[in-house]
């Protein structure tokens, strides 16, 4: 059994303790040449049971921690698993290329598609290079350019969303961050091709919505989707970021809550413990769900697709007259 404590989150400490016991048994077996295979198997079963118990009773803030896991699969991980012949396209033809936004064309089961998505890193060096998945205005303008390319050639668009939010730096604001996202919203509403958005990790505010106005919005089981981070919300409401657990519960940011509210259309199952435990299985689940949701959209006319997208977002929320 491969032992990896680095992938375990703080609330998984009971599992870490069991892994340590297995490690001790393996050392004893090796040094004393004792057969402890049965004892090891029993603890392995306890690990599975303990993990199921923990993940059956996750708090919203624990789900946030999973969505932010440093080893959680990225857009390029999913592309590598489910997209054939991917060709990445660069630049917004205006200012520069943004490595926090990956865009390109490829095939999913011989269906030619346009793929766009936020790209995080898996260590400090990669995250600095990718700006922690926080796109600049040129990232959203690049995404818009590639979406329009797909629209022109009749290619379905798949967006993979994983960002804390659009980058809020001075330079980004000077180059028109809000205007870039607003233009994307208008353009996405008018697309003549099927558009599927998948929230794979963090779906943070306008940064997520800037590539997320799909005919269908799907969400991985342990991902989140919110207008602000729980810490940011707690800082505003209680002036105390440590109350993020209260904010996370009140904000209804988990996939289950958002499905009940009608904000998303379907939850994509993750392996026990989260997507980072089995990239291949998670990617296949994403592929299957995306294709299933694409099938009815492919038979719609451009008018029907636009109306479908309009009606989806128009019916969100509850309106009551006083």
Radius of gyration of the chain (CA): 21
Cβ-proximal residues to 149 (8 Å cutoff; 6+ apart), any chain: 89, 105, 114, 155
The answer to whether residue 321 scores a pLDDT higher than 80 is yes
Question: Is there a single domain that holds both residue 211 and residue 301?
Answer: yes
pLDDT tens digits, 78-111:
999 999 999 999 999 999 999 999 999 999 999 9
Question: Is there a single domain that holds both residue 45 and residue 76?
Answer: no
In this structure, the number of other CB atoms found within 10 A of the CB of residue 26 comes to: 15
Residue 136 pLDDT level (bands cut at 50, 70, 90)? very high
Question: Is there a single domain that holds both residue 45 and residue 92?
Answer: no
On average, the pLDDT of the chain sits at 90
Question: Is there a single domain that holds both residue 159 and residue 30?
Answer: no
- Whether residue 3 lies inside any domain: the answer is no
Question: Is there a single domain that holds both residue 88 and residue 216?
Answer: yes
Looking at per-residue pLDDT, the higher value among 24 and 172 belongs to 172
Question: Is there a single domain that holds both residue 222 and residue 306?
Answer: yes
Question: Is there a single domain that holds both residue 108 and residue 233?
Answer: yes
Question: Is there a single domain that holds both residue 79 and residue 37?
Answer: no
Which range marks the domain in which residue 82 is found? 68-314
Residue 24 pLDDT level (bands cut at 50, 70, 90)? confident
Per-residue pLDDT, 9: 86
- Whether residue 275 lies inside any domain: the answer is yes
Question: Is there a single domain that holds both residue 155 and residue 27?
Answer: no
pLDDT tens digits, 49-80:
888 888 888 999 999 999 999 999 999 999 99
- Whether residue 289 lies inside any domain: the answer is yes
Q: CA-to-CA distance for 219 and 265, rounded, in angstroms?
A: 8
- Whether residue 322 lies inside any domain: the answer is no
- Whether residue 320 lies inside any domain: the answer is no
- Whether residue 319 lies inside any domain: the answer is no
Percent of the chain, pLDDT > 90?
A: 75
Are 306 and 191 in contact, with CB atoms under 8 Å apart? yes
Burial of 186 (0-12, 13-18, 19+ CB in 10 A): exposed
- Whether residue 1 lies inside any domain: the answer is no
Question: Is there a single domain that holds both residue 31 and residue 158?
Answer: no
Q: CA-to-CA distance for 81 and 75, rounded, in angstroms?
A: 10
Question: Is there a single domain that holds both residue 252 and residue 201?
Answer: yes
The answer to whether residue 39 scores a pLDDT higher than 90 is no
Q: CA-to-CA distance for 293 and 139, rounded, in angstroms?
A: 26
Per-residue pLDDT, 268: 96
SS3 content of the chain, % helix, strand, coil (to 5): 55, 15, 30
Instruction: Give the burial string for 125-158 (b: 16+ CB within 10 Å, else e).
Output: eebeebbbbbbbbbbbbbbbebbeebbeeebbbb
Q: CA-to-CA distance for 203 and 232, rounded, in angstroms?
A: 14
In this structure, the number of other CB atoms found within 10 A of the CB of residue 37 comes to: 11
CATH number of the domain residue 116 falls in: 3.90.226.10
Question: Is there a single domain that holds both residue 53 and residue 75?
Answer: no
Torsion-angle region of 133 (φ positive above 0: left; ψ -120 to 50: alpha; else: beta): left
Percent of the chain, pLDDT > 70?
A: 93
Looking at per-residue pLDDT, the higher value among 4 and 107 belongs to 107
- Whether residue 2 lies inside any domain: the answer is no
- How many structural domains compose the chain? 2
The answer to whether residue 32 scores a pLDDT higher than 90 is no
The answer to whether residue 2 scores a pLDDT higher than 50 is no
The answer to whether residue 3 scores a pLDDT higher than 50 is no
pLDDT tens digits, 189-217:
999 999 999 999 999 989 999 999 999 99
Dihedral sign (CA 59, 127, 83, 186): positive
């Amino acid at each position: 059994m491969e032992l990896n404590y680095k992938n375990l989150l703080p609330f998984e400490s009971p599992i870490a303790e069991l892994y340590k016991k297995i490690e001790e048994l393996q050392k004893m077996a090796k040094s004393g040449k004792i057969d402890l295979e049965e004892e090891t198997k029993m603890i392995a079963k306890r690990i599975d049971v303990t993990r199921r118990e923990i993940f059956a009773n996750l708090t919203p803030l624990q789900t946030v921690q999973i969505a932010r896991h440093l080893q959680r699969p990225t857009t390029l991980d999913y592309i590598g698993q489910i997209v054939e012949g991917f060709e990445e396209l660069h630049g917004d033809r205006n200012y520069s290329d943004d490595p926090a936004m990956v865009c390109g064309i490829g095939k999913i089961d011989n269906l030619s598609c346009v793929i766009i998505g936020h790209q995080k890193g898996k260590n400090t060096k990669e995250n600095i290079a990718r700006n922690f998945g926080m796109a600049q205005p040129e990232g959203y303008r690049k995404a818009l350019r590639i979406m329009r390319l797909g629209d022109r050639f009749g290619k379905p668009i798949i967006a993979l969303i994983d960002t804390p939010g659009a980058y809020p730096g001075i330079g980004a604001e000077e180059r028109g961050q809000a205007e870039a996202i607003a233009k994307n919203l208008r353009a996405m509403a008018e697309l003549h091709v099927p558009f599927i958005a998948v929230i794979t990790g963090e779906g943070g505010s306008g940064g997520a919505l800037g590539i997320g106005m799909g005919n269908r919005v799907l969400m991985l089981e342990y991902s989140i989707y919110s207008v602000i981070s729980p810490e940011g919300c707690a800082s505003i409401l209680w002036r105390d970021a440590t109350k993020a657990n209260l904010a996370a519960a009140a904000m209804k940011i988990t996939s289950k809550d958002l499905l009940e509210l009608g904000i998303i259309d379907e939850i994509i199952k993750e392996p026990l413990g989260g997507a980072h435990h089995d990239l291949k299985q998670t990617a296949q689940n994403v592929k299957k769900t995306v294709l299933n949701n694409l099938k009815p959209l492919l038979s719609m006319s451009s008018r029907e697709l636009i109306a479908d997208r309009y009606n989806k977002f128009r019916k969100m929320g509850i309106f009551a007259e006083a």
